[in-house]
Amino acid sequence: MSTSAELFARALQLMPGGVNSPVRAFRSVGGTPFFTKAARGATLVTADDRELIDFVCTWGPAIHGHNHPRIKAAIAAALEAGTSFGTPNPYEVEMAELIIRFFPSIQKVRMCNSGTEATMSAIRLARGFTKRDKIIKFAGCYHGHSDSLLIKAGSGALTHGNPDSAGVPASFARETIVLPYNDRAALDAAFVANPGQIAGVIIEAYCGNVGFIMPDAGYLQFLREITARHGTVLIFDEVMTGFRIAKGGVQEREKITPDLTTLGKIIGGGLPVGAFGGRADIMDHLAPLGPVYQAGTLSGNPLAMAAGIASLRLLEELNPYANLDRLGRQLRDAVLAACRAKGIPVQVPQCGSMFSIFFTSTPVRDYATALTGDAKLFGRFFHACLAQGVYLAPSAYEAGFLSTAHDGPAIDRACTVLATAIKEL
Ligand code: HOZ
């Protein structure tokens, strides 16, 4: 089999930047990406036959570790019956029942094929429901790559210095108001300045795309109150956090009922999927019942549904959240202790199985403070970890993820590697 270097040389001739998603290209940490030929548990196996402890977890979905036997078996069983039907299928109903059971704010749900589709559709629905055009998003929050949302975005867009993408018409961008996260006064001012015009507010309730950032106490409650007061649809983007921070996502942990929620990642068990759902009176504005159009040839795909159902049923059975938080704290404490010993300023926001490492003395609570992190130092740290067999997200502005498969030797070994890498920085 070809090495990563050989594959990347070929890929560069065939694909822009040699990748199918920009953050994979290692541009912000330098060097060239490895190629993965297999994954199991907490481990990636590279084309060069290296085994890496993986803290990206395919950017969130692999909460049970890679290639879990129950999910594999569910996909194999579904495969026997066919790969796509283009008609309603029984899996979709079971998936909808599970989502609605775990997320009490969701009375009706629509499946789609990615988180980008879910957020794009939720925005259209909020606009169609309220008959208003403007939306509010928060700097550094990334809600996929549709036009309305690719403004001051995090994730790969920020990583590559392009948070406002070329190709988004200025007339579209004008309908998107971007505010600082965690800033109540800015929210108040935006509603005063745009009376009766704001269709929806979309937020990564816990940000995972500018690194991991949590809200100040009471901020999300304030957001709920102000949107309700103005008849504005509150959309929680829980593509990353849904079924990860808690079974019912951030909204369960924070006890908040948004009007709409977007989901993805874990509900596909590693296959491509997205979903959005919420109040029935809003969801019933979707075609075929209502005037807001949204569709998809592969939506509710039986293989993706089967994988997702298996993943959600495992979560129900295992209730792994306390254990995942223990692993997250072990990793956080190892990094904090090593940085303290070395005299390197660091912030390690962590909740359950999500975390970030910002090399800065400034507490990180929004986009501006995330940018105070030393990205060059992060790049050196990233490569020192990779050299010792630990794979962190290849950007200072992405969250890390843990899985149940990290429990045991993997987390112990990873903590040693991270601490040694810090010592040698
Ligand atoms: N939203 C994910 C990372 N922030 C997607 C990964 C990607 O962009 O490839």
For 166-210, the pLDDT digits (tens) are: 888 888 888 999 999 999 999 999 999 999 999 999 999 999 999
**146 CB contacts (<8 Å, ≥6 apart)?**
116, 119, 120, 123
And the tokens for 66? 């890679």
Q: Which residues are catalytic?
A: 142, 237, 265
Nearest CA to ligand 1 atom 9: 21
Ligand 1 binding pocket includes 209 (Cβ within 6 Å): yes
**276 CB contacts (<8 Å, ≥6 apart)?**
109, 110, 112, 118, 119, 121, 122, 125, 260, 261, 262, 263
Among 23, 145, 207, 395, the mutation site with the greatest number of ligand 1 atoms within 8 A of its Cβ is 23
Instruction: Please state whether the predicted TM-score (pTM) of the whole model is above 0.95.
Output: yes
Q: CA quadruple 276, 156, 10, 35: dihedral positive or negative?
A: negative
User: Under a CB-based contact definition with an 8 Å cutoff, are residues 213 and 207 in contact?
Assistant: yes
Q: For residue 54, list its beta bridge partners.
A: 391
Q: Please tell me the distance between residue 343's alpha carbon and the centre of ligand 1 in angstroms.
A: 32
- Helix (H), strand (E) counts: the chain: 15, 14
Q: For residue 88, give Cα distances in angstroms to 78, 107, 213, 299.
A: 15, 19, 39, 10
E strand or H helix at 405: none
Amino acid at 142: Y
Ligand 1 binding pocket includes 356 (Cβ within 6 Å): no
CA 274 to chain centroid, in Å, comes to 11
- Which pLDDT band, with edges at 50, 70 and 90, does 159 fall under? low
Amino acid at 209: N
Ligand 1 binding pocket includes 237 (Cβ within 6 Å): no
**Tens of pLDDT, residues 288-302:** 999 999 999 999 999
Domain annotation for the chain: domains and CATH numbers: 4-63+320-423 (3.90.1150.10), 69-317 (3.40.640.10)
Q: Please tell me the distance between residue 40's alpha carbon and the centre of ligand 1 in angstroms.
A: 20
- Which pLDDT band, with edges at 50, 70 and 90, does 163 fall under? low
Ligand 1 binding pocket includes 23 (Cβ within 6 Å): yes
Worst-scoring range by mean pLDDT, 124-133, 161-170, 174-183, 384-393?
A: 161-170
Nearest CA to ligand 1 atom 2: 59
Nearest CA to ligand 1 atom 6: 59
Ligand 1 binding pocket includes 28 (Cβ within 6 Å): no
pLDDT of residue 268: 97
The four Cα atoms 178, 180, 184, 190 give a dihedral, to 10 degrees, of -20
**Tens of pLDDT, residues 205-238:** 999 999 999 999 999 999 999 999 999 999 999 9
- Which pLDDT band, with edges at 50, 70 and 90, does 310 fall under? very high
Q: End-to-end distance of the chain based on CA atoms, in angstroms? A: 34
Among 19, 21, 143, the mutation site with the greatest number of ligand 1 atoms within 8 A of its Cβ is 21
Nearest CA to ligand 1 atom 5: 59
**Tens of pLDDT, residues 64-88:** 999 999 999 999 999 999 999 999 9
E strand or H helix at 198: strand 198-203
CA 355 to chain centroid, in Å, comes to 12
And the tokens for 397? 């502005």
Q: Please tell me the distance between residue 209's alpha carbon and the centre of ligand 1 in angstroms.
A: 8
- Which pLDDT band, with edges at 50, 70 and 90, does 112 fall under? very high
CA distance 136 to 148: 10
Q: Are strands 354-355 and 400-401 parallel, antiparallel or unpaired?
A: antiparallel
User: Under a CB-based contact definition with an 8 Å cutoff, are residues 142 and 204 in contact?
Assistant: yes
Q: Please tell me which residue, 401 or 147, carries the higher pLDDT value.
A: 401
Nearest C-alpha neighbor of 63 from the set 358, 259, 380, 315 = 315
